[in-house]
């Protein structure tokens, strides 16, 4: 929900995007449905990928490399994806990207069949996981430009914010439903590696089904006669210009944001490992009808992600409303602070289900600052630069964040001198998560000291 939308009413209403959803053009409705399908598939699989890889025999270093590989894709896919969309049209671009993502889910599903085959010390099953990511993330990252184009060409300027609010809200709702769906599918299984693999294959099968449905829905129902097709792509030279002309007001935000995101990237992929293996916390509930319900750590992790997203959905709009009174900078700093302190709180948490629930509820507050964060980026860009400067901001930030997960994996698992083989660091998850918090707090403090408020909120 944008700040502009919130200023139109006196009360922040978390249900408002759903009401607006039914008043929008068909193409935005179709896009929202497809976004829900692919976000559901990707969210209920990607947050568990470290657990899946660990069950297949991957080390923490390999899992960290997988996280950094995902960072590479997130950084480099959107720019060429937008160019492809401009050249062939949003409908065909999203259909192609949807097919790629569905095939990627399928490769992840088939990966365990290759677990017994190795090239040197590398299992082909782990190699298939990396290959699957190249395809699975296509709709999410390649399709970013196409999704923006569909909203822009489908609604009037007065409803543009409502269009983006609809798609974003349904994406976040999938972030809530996906992990809960995964928790339900994990419930009948135990915590052995074999059972984890079997349960996750069921989750991947569901993701494939949603990918097929999402691809069909968007291709059949989207109207191609209104598709805009561009004529040229200005290329890397334009990107260099965009980086040079980035408004000065954005630079402190970019530095602080990059440090916070780097810190989060060091440990994000390992959150599931901390809950399921490092702490090993499940949940036992007494239900009047069903008796005692025991949730494995894998199943409980899905519940924790659901708690996190409920808090995010409930607080995003009220906090955006509050930003109109206190300014954008304090709200953005709050989100940064939550990002920063969560790792050290999680890694030092007691083995207690209630404490973990409280921690993940607290983590949900990091999303509360997202609308203000985006407004703080877009505000100066609208005044002094083209819209591409915003894209350049995210590209530069994401490029710097690329090695973060690999660094986190090295600190978690330890590393040796490649020349002598002597151990340099034995590895310690607490050190990895604590260092992430230190880096995140540095970014938060830097932004508090040097970050600028957007003049519309002063």
User: pLDDT tens digits for 379-412?
Assistant: 665 443 434 556 677 788 889 999 999 999 999 9
Question: Are 425 and 281 contained in the same domain?
Answer: yes
Q: Predicted confidence band at 4 (pLDDT cuts at 50, 70, 90)?
A: very low
According to the model, what pLDDT value does residue 156 have?
55
Q: Is residue 112 part of a domain?
A: yes
* Domain identity same for 439 and 401: yes
Q: What is the pLDDT of residue 217?
A: 83
Report whether pLDDT(158) > 60: no
Q: Are residues 382 and 342 in the same domain?
A: yes
Same domain for 155 and 19: yes
Helical segments of 227-327, H only: 236-244, 250-267, 271-273, 297-326
The answer to the question of residue 359 being in a domain is yes
CA distance 323 to 316: 11
The mean predicted confidence, pLDDT, of the chain is 81
Domain contains 232: no
Q: Which residues contact 39 (CB under 8 A, 6 or more apart)?
A: 140, 170, 171, 174, 175, 178
DSSP secondary structure string, 202-253? Answer: HHHHHHHHHHHHHHHHHHHHS-GGG----S----HHHHHHHHHT--TTHHHH
- Whether 149 has a pLDDT exceeding 90, the answer reads no
pLDDT tens for each residue of 22-32: 444 565 667 67
Q: Is residue 58's pLDDT more than 90?
A: yes
Gap between the Cα atoms of 44 and 177, Å rounded? 8
298 and 185 in a single domain? The answer is no
Q: At what angle do helices 370-384 and 250-267 cross, to 10 degrees?
A: 140
The model's confidence at residue 233, banded by pLDDT at 50, 70 and 90, is: very low
- Domain range for 317: 238-458
Give the count of beta carbons closer than 10 Å to the beta carbon of residue 382. Answer: 14
Determine which of 113-122, 297-306, 435-444 has the lowest per-residue pLDDT on average. 113-122
Instruction: Kindly state whether residues 139 and 281 are assigned to the same domain.
Output: no
* Residues found in the chain: 458
Return the sign of the alpha-carbon dihedral for residues 124, 127, 128, 129.
Answer: positive
Listed residues 190, 224, 258: the one ending a domain: 224
With tokens 């509360």, the residue in question is: 368
Q: What sign results for the dihedral spanned by CA atoms 107, 199, 67, 150?
A: positive
| Residue 344 pLDDT greater than 90, yes or no | yes
Q: Which percentage of the chain shows pLDDT scores above 70?
A: 76
Nearest Cα to Cα of residue 50 among 215, 200, 190, 205:
200
| 242 located within any domain | yes
pLDDT score at 20:
47
Q: Angle 182-50-211 (CA atoms, 0-180°, nearest 5)?
A: 50
Residue 231 counted as domain residue = no
Q: For the purposes of burial, counting CB atoms within 10 Å of the CB of 81, is it exposed (0-12), middle (13-18) or buried (19 or more)?
A: buried
- The runs of H, that is alpha helices, within 111-192 are 124-136, 144-154, 160-186
Instruction: Please answer whether residues 356 and 275 qualify as being in contact, where contact means their C-beta atoms are separated by less than 8 angstroms.
Output: yes
Are 264 and 205 within one domain?
A: no
Position 230 in a domain: no
Last residue of a domain, one of 178, 199, 224: 224
Co-location of 175 and 242 in the same domain: no
Same domain, 365 and 315: yes
Residue 365 placed within a domain: yes
Domain boundary among 201, 224, 247: 224
CB 61 within 8 A of CB 245: no
What's the number of domains the chain is made of? Answer: 2
Higher pLDDT, 378 or 275: 275
The answer on pLDDT for 232 being more than 50 is: no
Of the candidates 364, 362, 333, 336, the one whose C-alpha atom is nearest the C-alpha of residue 349 is: 362
> 183 and 285: one domain?
no
State the pLDDT confidence band at 40, using cuts at 50, 70 and 90. confident
Banded pLDDT at 290 (limits 50, 70, 90): low
CATH number of the domain residue 13 falls in:
1.20.1250.20
Q: Is residue 229, in this structure, part of any structural domain at all?
A: no
């Amino acid at each position: 929900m944008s700040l502009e939308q919130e200023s139109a009413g006196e009360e922040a209403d978390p249900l408002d995007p759903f009401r607006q959803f039914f008043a929008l053009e068909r193409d935005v409705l179709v896009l929202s449905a497809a976004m829900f399908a692919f976000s559901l598939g990707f969210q209920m699989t990607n947050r568990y990928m470290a657990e899946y890889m660990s069950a297949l025999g991957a080390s923490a270093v390999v899992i960290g490399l997988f996280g950094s590989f995902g960072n590479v894709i997130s950084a480099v896919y959107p720019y060429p994806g937008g160019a492809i969309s401009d050249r062939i049209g949003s409908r065909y671009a999203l259909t192609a990207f949807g097919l790629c993502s569905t095939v990627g889910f399928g490769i992840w599903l088939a990966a365990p069949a290759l677990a017994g085959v190795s090239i040197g010390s590398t299992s082909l099953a782990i190699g298939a996981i990396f290959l699957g990511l190249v395809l699975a993330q296509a709709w999410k990252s390649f399709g970013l430009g196409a999704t923006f184009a569909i909203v822009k060409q489908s609604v009037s300027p007065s409803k543009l914010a409502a269009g983006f609010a609809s798609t974003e809200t349904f994406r976040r709702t999938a972030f809530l439903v996906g992990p809960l769906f995964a928790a339900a599918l994990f419930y009948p299984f135990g915590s052995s590696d074999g059972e984890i693999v079997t349960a996750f294959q069921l989750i991947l099968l569901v993701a494939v089904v949603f990918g097929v449905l999402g691809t069909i829905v968007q291709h059949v129902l989207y109207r191609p006669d209104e598709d805009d097709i561009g004529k040229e792509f200005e290329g890397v030279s334009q990107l260099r210009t965009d980086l040079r002309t980035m408004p000065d007001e954005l630079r402190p935000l970019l530095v602080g944001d990059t440090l916070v995101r780097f810190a989060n990237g060091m440990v994000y992929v390992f959150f599931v490992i901390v809950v399921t293996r490092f702490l090993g916390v499940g949940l036992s509930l007494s239900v009047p009808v069903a008796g005692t319900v025991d949730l494995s750590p894998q199943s409980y992790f899905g519940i924790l992600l659901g708690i996190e997203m409920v808090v995010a959905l409930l607080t995003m709009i009220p906090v955006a409303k509050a930003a109109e009174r206190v300014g954008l900078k304090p709200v953005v700093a709050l989100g940064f602070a939550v990002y920063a302190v969560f790792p050290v709180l999680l890694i030092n948490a007691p083995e207690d289900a209630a404490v973990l629930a409280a921690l993940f509820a607290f983590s949900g507050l990091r999303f509360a600052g997202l609308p203000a964060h985006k407004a703080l980026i877009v505000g100066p860009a609208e005044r002094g630069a083209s819209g591409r400067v915003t894209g350049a901001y995210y590209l530069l930030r994401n490029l710097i964040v690329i090695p973060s997960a690999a660094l986190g994996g090295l600190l978690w698992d330890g590393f040796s001198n490649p020349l002598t083989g002597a151990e340099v660091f034995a590895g310690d998850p607490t050190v990895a998560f604590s260092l992430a918090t230190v880096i995140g707090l540095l970014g938060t403090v830097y932004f508090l000291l040097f970050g600028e408020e957007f003049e519309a909120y002063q």
